[in-house]
A and B are shown apart, each in its own frame.
Chain A
């Protein structure tokens, strides 16, 4: 077979939005090549999501169910995915550039002896040879590069929030059961425990207030918290973000990090406090509808991408702003 194959991510018992985006771009590529679209779903119980996936109109949904596929053990997922590729023999395989996709992609590429391009923001078919043209930001986003690589299947991981998600349709793709040939002896990395932490869902925020190295210390985030409280009276959900330096310094946990190796977001309002505007940070927030920057350095790059700028020490302006907002409410 010559399908375009995508690996689905399941989140809280339902198809993740990233998978809908993969379905969207996968359908387009399959159409361009005149081939079918297959979705692979793995887990201990994926029947319900398989039906959900089938309704989006792929040709086939492969269901790999096994108790060892519960949670995400990369060894088990990789072996099963490798098996699916062998049996489906796809022309193109797309994974989302999620934490699990980042891990499975390179290892799968090695096992299948093909070449992977990660974190793609555009994909198309070269009409001359039918190979995948893979567009990817490089150097943090300082340049955009298009790659073409030999090997089969053609393999890419896809950045979130770039492709339009597939529309729900009344499709009824065929659901095919595939029995994963895995057992415990193949596990090389053993899970001791999964520790759930309170993680912020930055991508769900209406307003994000982010702090960077310019906060000077951990307490700076308390000042941002006060602003968050004051703004949450007028705006839906207000959350705290940060730059990588704030994480490196141990001021705040990494789930708050915005950017290339953090979360990519597009809130209504983004407030950057003491963040210089490095490219790896900008790519994570540049799609925000309005950007407000507070920074002591009038020459900092954040002002180049901001809609509103305040050149001032945040410790002077933010508390005053909080006070003012409280008076007004």
Chain B
């Protein structure tokens, strides 16, 4: 069987799981500032993991697309070490704080430029703006069948067969490829890559292609910003915590009393 082409869209974001003490809000620049190294958005890592499993099972060529004003290839190179075949950065000053539709249009431009593919995978939402739109809009722009919130993905006879999350359980659905699927965390985490392996393999990675808006044939006027009016800190969530202390037996006595008082 012919090897399938999988495109994974993976975004670099400030670490959404950084300790809260390292996170602050800059209302002026309208940015959430995270004092920790950036990461690949977690659900995009789930999408990458799915792609790698399909590659192991059926053979596939995996291309990772990552778009932003400035993408650090050191962050994204992890995808190559994990098992992707190619990484393409879409970088341009004009790509800052774009709305979902503009991002999806640029990704669509890149995918058309790549040409042949069978499956486009994205995370269900990115952990910075939590918008959950780019994948589905991308599918619409490319005119692909779209499947949202996959918890398991298989490829059979030119079809993608997905267990998608629905309120009452899951639905097994099938679409003819090429198709777009957004991936949820139930598929499992990206495989663990040891630091030594990472460092060793990174050396073997050559230069990473980077495409600008111009390379993608995008006229800047068509790009729209996301329209932020204000960005502010959330309401304070703190409560006065009453610590309960003692040996486990004493603790359970005191906790039982707490439950009694809450009845």
Contacts and interface: CB of A to CB of B under 8 A. Distances in A.
Interface of A: 72, 74, 98-99, 102-103, 105-107, 109-111, 115-119, 133, 136-150, 188-197, 199, 231, 234-235, 244, 247-248, 250, 254, 260-261, 268-269, 277-280, 282, 286, 290-293, 301, 303-312, 316-317, 320-321, 323-325, 328
B82 interface: no
A308 B258 contact: yes
A37 to B, nearest CB: 25
Contact of B32 (A110, A139, A188): A139
B241 A115 contact: no
B9 to A, nearest CB: 14
B242 A308 contact: yes
Given A74-B146, A106-B133, A139-B130, A147 B171 contact: no
A109 B166 contact: no
Given A106-B140, A145-B30, A145-B232, 4 more contacts: A196-B169, A261-B185, A280-B127, A304-B237
Interface size class of B (residues with CB under 8 A): 35 or more
A110 B100 CA distance: 10
Given A137-B234, A142-B20, A231 B132 contact: no
Contacts of B149: 99, 102-103
Contact of B237 (A106, A146, A305): A305
Contacts of A193: 171-172
A195 B170 contact: yes
A145 B185 contact: no
Nearest to B147: A189
B251 A317 contact: yes
Contacts of B249: 320, 324
Contact of B228 (A147, A194, A304, A317): A147
A110 B140 CA distance: 7
Ranked 7 nearest A-B pairs via Cβ: A197-B169, A188-B145, A110-B140, A106-B133, A106-B136, A321-B252, A320-B252
Contacts of B132: 102, 106, 118-119
Contact of B175 (A188, A231, A279, A305): A188
B130 A317 contact: no
B141 interface: yes
B188 A307 contact: no
B206 interface: no
B147 A119 contact: no
A321 B255 contact: yes
B118 interface: no
A98 B168 CA distance: 13
Contact of B238 (A119, A139, A305, A321): A305
A260 B147 contact: no
Contacts of A98: 167
A253 B141 CA distance: 33
Interface in B195-253: 224, 226-234, 237-245, 248-249, 251-253
B131 interface: yes
A140 B16 contact: yes
A291 B251 contact: no
B263 A235 contact: yes
Contact of B136 (A103, A146, A303): A103
A157 B20 CA distance: 27
27 contacts: A99-B166, A102-B149, A103-B148, A105-B133, A107-B146, A109-B137, A138-B128, A145-B229, A149-B226, A188-B144, A188-B176, A189-B173, A192-B172, A193-B172, A197-B168, A247-B185, A247-B186, A261-B185, A269-B259, A301-B20, A304-B237, A308-B243, A311-B245, A320-B248, A320-B252, A321-B251, A321-B255
